Amino acid sequence: MRLVKNLLVTVVMSMLACGAAFAAAQTDVKVKTTKPGAKLIVDKVLSDGRLLVSVDDAKKQPILGLGIQDFALECKEGKGRVLSVQSVSEVVDVPLNIVIVLGNSYSMYERNAIKPLLAGLDRVLTLIRPIDKVEMVVFDDKLTTRYGNRDLHVQTFTSSNPDELRAFAKQAYTQKKLTAGTYLYEAALAGVTDIAAMPSDTPRIAVVFTDGEDLNSVVKKAEVVKAANKAGNFAAYVIDYMEGPKVNKDLAKFAADHRGKAWKSKSEVDLLSIWESVAKGLDYSYVLTYECTKPPVILVAKDVVKPTYEAPVLAVFEESLFFDFDKSDLKPKGKEKLKAYREQAKSLLSSASKVKISGHTDNIGTAEYNMGLSQRRADAVAEYLKSLGVDPAKKEVKGEGKARPMFDNRTKEGRAKNRRVEVEVSGFQK
């Protein structure tokens, strides 16, 4: 059946394949991005039909803001489809591994930049969860830390507690801890060495802040580059607070070579906004939840073939069509939309053996509240479809809260699209 144009926000009959080459990591499924020119990397095969992936553009920079329409999936047996797209921050079993290198030379005090720096750093630390691991590396004139056969003028601190990390950073920028020397290469070598030791199948990020060129390191730039290249896949973000109008070319190259970005901070005024940008870039990976369905089994007995069934038809309605904010009472225009849907999908609804109605929210608010709201909205749609003659015995009604986003909750547009009600019709005969 052909549904009326614009009646449904989305109709999914199957997942079409186009765009970049498939990528897989020891799994019986192949997943790809449909973004032209982009490359998908499967970083890890998770449990329960989930994959950890990241997507780079043609310049090898991570692409943020992707949704379910940007991925396609093939299964070894049967058809496959992506059910949800989540950022790492929305799941509880994929840790972020982060190394933050902070230049704490005395010029930070002279330029009145300590307060805005710590405020910007705090924006990053608010994202840290107990499962994550963060290491800070700062310069130290008086103490050294052993790395291989080198004594580097750095001090390191590792924690998953944002308050502990804040305290360490604050201490590093006191008069007692500010350094006369600049040990950028030593600190960077320590950072990439520790990045290399972190699990390669988890998101790994290096953040480097410097307010001056290297003047005192016993380490050469080439050694840092070599160690970084050996470390494997990680993202590098650099804040250049040195004097001058442009990003230092070596720092820019370091970021570009490792899936990251470099920013030029020209005064203490723009430090906070740049750290905001760094914070957004930390959560660059996606967790895809998918399902594979086996092809129908046809049994032949006395020349009688059991009927086979077509793929499910999924209608997705945006929240704004049906409900006011934070409400579960159907609006008049929502009822009109459902009436039109009922008329256009009449034969499908009649021949189907199952009509699944599910409510979904964005990730704002608690899981418990969102689950309740999504259930009430699904119930409201189910009741109205019942009044329109849809057989209640066929219906399965479920609130899924924020558990199955189709779009990236890191963007305003993605959150709006995730607030939706789905009606999936299945089990109708050919």
Tokens 């144009």 belong to: 5
Are the C-beta atoms of 9 and 27 separated by less than 8 Å? Answer: no
Greater confidence, 266 or 222? 222
Q: What share of the chain is helix, strand, coil (3-state, %, to 5)?
A: 30, 30, 40
pLDDT at residue 25 is higher than 50: no
pLDDT digits (tens, 9 = 90+) for 145-182: 999 899 999 999 999 999 999 999 999 999 999 999 99
Q: Phi then psi for 172, rounded to 5 degrees?
A: -65, -20
Taking residues 66-85, report their average pLDDT.
Answer: 87
Of all residues in the chain, what percent carry a pLDDT higher than 70?
A: 89
Please report the pLDDT score of residue 13 as a whole number: 33
User: Tokens at residue 214, please?
Assistant: 């290297």
Question: Which two structure tokens, joined as six digits, stand for 287?
Answer: 């967790």
Is pLDDT larger for residue 218 or for residue 11?
Answer: 218
pLDDT in tens, 135-144: 999 999 999 9
Domain 97-284 is in which class? alpha beta
* Tokens 């199957």, residue located: 14
Statement: residue 28 has pLDDT above 80: no
CA distance 381 to 386: 9
| Beta carbons within 8 Å of 40's beta carbon, 6+ residues apart | 20, 23, 31, 32, 33, 53, 54, 55, 71
Whole-number Å distance between alpha carbons of 341 and 1:
12
Averaged pLDDT score across all residues of the chain: 88
- Determine the length of the chain: 430
Task: Identify the band that residue 11 occupies on the pLDDT scale cut at 50, 70 and 90.
Answer: very low
133-139 vs 97-102, strand pairing mode: parallel
- CATH number of this structure's domain 10-89+287-426: 3.30.1330.60
Distance CA 52, CA 203 (A): 9
Whether the CA torsion 158, 161, 164, 169 is positive or negative: it is positive
Backbone φ/ψ region at 303: left (φ over 0), alpha (ψ -120 to 50), beta:
left
Question: Which pLDDT score is estimated for 27?
Answer: 62
Interatomic CA distance for residues 207 and 201, integer angstroms: 19
Residue 158, beta-bridge partner list: 135
* 262-278 average pLDDT score: 91
Q: What pLDDT is recorded for position 306?
A: 52
Task: Return residue ranges of the chain for CATH 3.40.50.410.
Answer: 97-284
Residue 58: CB atoms within 10 Å: 9
**Residue 294 pLDDT:** 64
> How confident is the model at residue 12, as a pLDDT?
37
With tokens 């186009």, the residue in question is: 18
Q: What is the DSSP string of 264-325?
A: E--SGGGHHHHHHHHHHHH---EEEEEEEEPPPPPPEETTEEPPPBPPPEEEEEEHHHH--T
Tell me the pLDDT tens digit for each residue of 350-381: 888 999 999 999 999 999 999 999 999 999 99
Q: Say what the pLDDT of residue 308 is.
A: 55
**Contact at 8 Å (CB) between 314 and 10?**
yes
pLDDT at 4: 33
As a whole number of angstroms, the distance between CA 208 and CA 187 comes to 9
pLDDT, average across residues 307-333: 86
> Residue 267: pLDDT band by 50, 70, 90 thresholds?
confident
Tokens linked to 174: 């006191």
**Structure confidence at residue 75 (pLDDT):** 87
Q: What is the pLDDT of residue 136?
A: 98
Average pLDDT over residues 300-312: 58
* Strands 204-210 vs 235-240: parallel, antiparallel or unpaired: parallel
